[in-house]
Amino acid sequence: MKECIIGIDAGTASVKGLLVDASGTIVATASAPIHLSTPRPGWAEQSPEDWWKATIQVLDTLTVDRNLEILAVSISGQMHSLVPLDAAGDVVRPAILWCDQRTQHECDELTEACGGEQEVIKVFGNPVLTGFTAPKLLWLRANEPDNFARIARFCLPKDYLVLKLTGRLAIEASDASGTSLYRVREGVWDDHILDVLTVRRSMLPDLVGVGSVIGAITCPDLPRLNGVPVVAGGADNAASAFGCGVEKPGDTVVSLGTSGTVVAVTATPNPDLTGRVHLFSHVTKDCYYHMAVILSAAGALDWFRQRFAQNLSYGRIEEMVGQSPVGSNGVLFLPYLNGERTPHRDPDARGVLYGMSSFNSQGDMLRAVHEGVVFALREGAESIADMGTPMTNVRVVGGGSRSHVWCQMLADNLGTPVWSPLVDEGAAYGSARLAANAAGIDTTGWVKLVERYEPDEEKGRLYTPWFTEYKELYQALRERFKTSARLVERRS
């Protein structure tokens, strides 16, 4: 029989699973879509039962008709989302997701109750943000008191799936650190905010070590897997970083997905008191990570292509971008199509194409979009560097990493070599690594780097004045963004 492990990622769009052998080779993949409900503007909810059905489907697909011995299963998942459970372990109401924006009033209330934003950041490593878990509980208490009264326990998405598999409700530090309930540096729940929320400690999941065995599968719907150990996975960003070998201080991964992130591992859990950069626990022992987030990365290119360049393939776009010079012949792009997180925390910021003249070509516009995204990521990286966190071993992942031009721009702007990994399967592969480690398999050889982008020092010097212009353009428009947002609200 072939020995394998399974890594699962419970994302927002789908549940994805990987069957991986002991050498790290992917034997099979499976996924099942998840419906996203938006009952009101700014709201985002999902049914945890849908996650469970999708997980059963994925596990069945990965293990059907195979001569396999499954050594372990591990699950990662979307961060922050709240799953409220009653005394029987049944879901009280649909999960309120990480991207839900209904709780700004509750964020303000919790921040004030905890002594102001700087004190909150010192305790929790981050401001209380609308996506996080704690303000969702306060919103339920204020707006759905009957549902709040029924809550006996609550958890995050991956923890709900582990409960269904094993009967045990547990959470590890990487997910706990994104709840605004957990003191990141001390590694414990915070009693004061529990009192503010009128939440008992008994309602919280058990805190367990990441990579530890939570229990064995005892599920009648999965007879082929009964008895297989379930290993504590991590939050999706942490598991994804671990999947491409970002696991020790100095390791960094830049994601060019729909949104963009810079995740840099550190041994020093110092929070950013300005609130630009997140601090979360990592899935490796005694490590944390600073994370910068931009809300539009490859998504900005997709937006531009759908509206203004539908006739162009991505290959042709790559050629045209390569033919335009650094600085896009004077065109700058602010990629703030959906507001911005790092470093501005500005929900009113919007996308801008600036500096166009009759001289400019379509290629200049496309290059400006690429450069604007890289400049935004560079700002995020500089915000992390301001924390004293080294970034010496950089990988790039996500759909945008298939663009050689984009990856080279990134290396030129960061001033350090950038590698792309052979396997770019996100959090599911990181979960598989955690499961394998728990099964006694050495996974250090799983991560293989296949392409190196060496920074061009001359181009780096050429980018710097344009990067300065990019930053100053936002500062010049910051108040205008707020005025425009008020006009839009008034019109609607």
In single-letter form, the type of residue at position 422 comes to L
Rg over alpha carbons for the chain, rounded to the nearest Å, is 23
For the question of residue 236 being annotated catalytic, the response is: yes
Give the span between the Cα atoms of 43 and 38, in whole angstroms. Answer: 5
Measured in degrees and rounded to the nearest 5, phi and psi for residue 156 equal -105, 170
Residue 80 annotated as binding site: yes
Give the span between the Cα atoms of 178 and 171, in whole angstroms. Answer: 11
Element (H, E) at 77: strand 68-77
Residue 320 annotated as binding site: no
Selecting among 50, 100, 190, 236, the annotated active-site residue is 236
Give the span between the Cα atoms of 460 and 151, in whole angstroms. Answer: 54
> Which among 92, 247, 113 has a CA at the least distance from the CA of 180?
113
Element (H, E) at 381: helix 362-385
Tokens matching residue 198:
């009128």
Is 383 in contact with 292 (CB distance < 8 Å)? Answer: yes
Write the burial class of residue 158 (CB in 10 Å: 0-12 exposed, 13-18 middle, 19+ buried).
buried
Give the span between the Cα atoms of 205 and 425, in whole angstroms. Answer: 28
Q: With both helix axes pointing from N to C terminus, report the angle between 117-124 and 104-113 in degrees, rounded to the nearest 10.
A: 90
Element (H, E) at 8: strand 2-10
Active site residues: 236
Binding-site residues for substrate sit at 79-80
Annotated binding site: which residue ranges?
79-80
